[in-house]
Amino acid sequence: MIDYKALFKISYGLYIVCSGDKNMGNGFISNTVFQVTAEPVQFAACCNKQNFTCGIIEKTGVFSASVLHTNTASEIYGTFGYKSGRETNKLKGLNVMYGETGVPIILNDTIAFIECRVVNSIDLGTHIMFIGELVQSELFDDNKQPLTYAYYRSVKNGVAPKNAPTYVDPSKMEEKTRHESLERHQCVVCGYIYDDADESVPFKELPDDWTCPACGAEKCDFIKIT
Ligand code: FE
């Protein structure tokens, strides 16, 4: 048997992976960035082939990963986790620096970053795993806690977008026993579910300026689900 709840016990960080250059840059939130060798220092980063950034990494051969902290603004999740660079310039208005390779590096809510040059890639079917050799790295803030996937799930109640390697189809999860008067509403932007059964205030009674705690979308972006 496969118990999908067991998969949630695997630990990850959450990072903004960026690629491109000054003319065209894009990024996405990734939980699959990890160091794979010490000598030389090499990192792996996994990217869905549908992601706009995937083609940019293939073309430019560079990527950066910004380490987010636990108080990262919801808009950052919204922009990099649930929007596509095909429709929006995700870097616009953000604090961006350009690395030695020319790759954009997001500085908003970033406590450290790595910059890598791709030396290998592995086709995993839905995803490509890029192996990059470290070009430069810097620690900006040693006091803030790096964001982990577990923190995002438990404190922010966040869910993985469909393109994430760790996405689990909700229909595969066990159904909860529910009280009829309690409703569930889902954010159409990021998939976050507001479940009256788990909250002190029913969704209907939330103020109009309430926003999605996972991605910052508006209350009207939620639809009732069964
Ligand atoms: Fe949302």
Give 69-96 pLDDT, tens digit per residue: 999 988 888 889 888 888 889 999 999 9
| Amino acid making up residue 95 | N
Q: What is the mean pLDDT of residues 109-123?
A: 98
Smallest Cα–Cα separation from 55: which of 95, 94, 85, 100? 85
Q: What percent of the chain has pLDDT over 90?
A: 57
CA of 113 to the centre of ligand 1 (A): 26
pLDDT band at 165 (very low <50, low <70, confident <90, very high): confident
Give CA separation, 64 vs 4, 33, 155, 178, in Å: 30, 10, 26, 44
- Give the pLDDT confidence score for residue 173 in this predicted structure: 64
Smallest Cα–Cα separation from 96: which of 121, 115, 117? 115
CA of 97 to the centre of ligand 1 (A): 27
- Give the pLDDT confidence score for residue 179 in this predicted structure: 57
Q: What is the mean pLDDT of residues 102-107?
A: 98
Strands 15-20 and 62-68: antiparallel
CA of 1 to the centre of ligand 1 (A): 32
Smallest Cα–Cα separation from 13: which of 67, 51, 78, 81? 67
CA of 202 to the centre of ligand 1 (A): 17
Which residue matches tokens 């109009």?
A: 208
> HSE of 93 in the Cβ direction (CA atoms, 13 Å)?
6
- In this structure, are residues 99 and 65 in contact, taking their beta carbons and an 8 Å threshold? no
Find the helix or strand (DSSP H, E) in which 68 lies. strand 62-68
CA of 40 to the centre of ligand 1 (A): 39
Mean predicted lDDT score pLDDT of the chain: 89
Which residue matches tokens 């496969």?
A: 2
